[in-house]
Amino acid sequence: MTSLLLVISAPSGTGKTTVCDRLISSSPDITYSISFTTRAPRAGEIEGKHYQFVSEERFKTLIRQGELVEWAIVHGNYYGTPRAPLEVSLSQRKVLVMDIDVQGGIQIRDKYKESVLIFIIPPSLEELKLRLQHRKTDDEETINKRLLGAKEELKYASCYDYYLVNHQIDETVNKLKAIIAAEKCNINRMVFDIWDGVI
């Protein structure tokens, strides 16, 4: 099988990071693409595991040097995917998970046609607001901006291959595993004679 590039996007507060963490810990064949960001770490986030936290000056240098395969400004902060680790992971024929926003997801699809895009949505905007409030990292004004951003992001759901409603974390992770299993059987991912070893 060729490598599987899995792009997972979701509005802020949907539970995407938790879903990705659970998915990646479920199998040694699933790896994580660690993005650069200029925002400050949130509680529980670990440098080099969830993100590489850099200054805006350093981020702009990465852009100029062509070291990012995609980048975007989201809620006033820069986010981007380093090119070199992504290419290494793809050469190893593993499942590479990218936790990126819709702008980045569309950029990846343009560059990697074989990528699989999955959009995770909350059960409702009301539930999303509750999750953002429960997170206790943003004031009310910021939460309202994130909700407006979520409405805009939802417009891009039709550009994705799959969408999942994150009612419950384990259920969402199991659905992601099912998508991976199905994509591994996709005839277009085979790199050998399909009858080799069968007859």
Beta strand 95-99 pairing with 4-9: parallel
- Per-residue tokens: 111: 């560059």
Q: What is the CA radius of gyration of the chain?
A: 17
Reported as a single tens digit per residue, the pLDDT across 79-137 is 999 999 898 888 887 899 999 999 899 999 999 998 999 999 999 999 999 999 988 88
Place of tokens 């939802």: 154
pLDDT score recorded for residue 85 = 87
CATH 3.40.50.300 at 4-189, yes or no: yes
The domain locations on the chain are 4-189
pTM value is: 0.85
Structure-derived torsion over alpha carbons of residues 140, 165, 80, 177, reported in degrees to the nearest 10: 150
Q: How far apart are CA 5 and CA 156, in angstroms?
A: 19
Reported as a single tens digit per residue, the pLDDT across 59-86 is 999 999 999 999 999 889 999 999 998 9
- 135 vs 197, which has greater pLDDT? 135
150 three-state secondary structure: helix
Please check the confidence at residue 198 and state whether its pLDDT lies above 70.
no
Calculate the average pLDDT of the chain: 90
pLDDT score recorded for residue 199 = 45
Q: How far apart are CA 112 and CA 75, in angstroms?
A: 26
173 neighbors 20 (Cβ within 8 angstroms): no
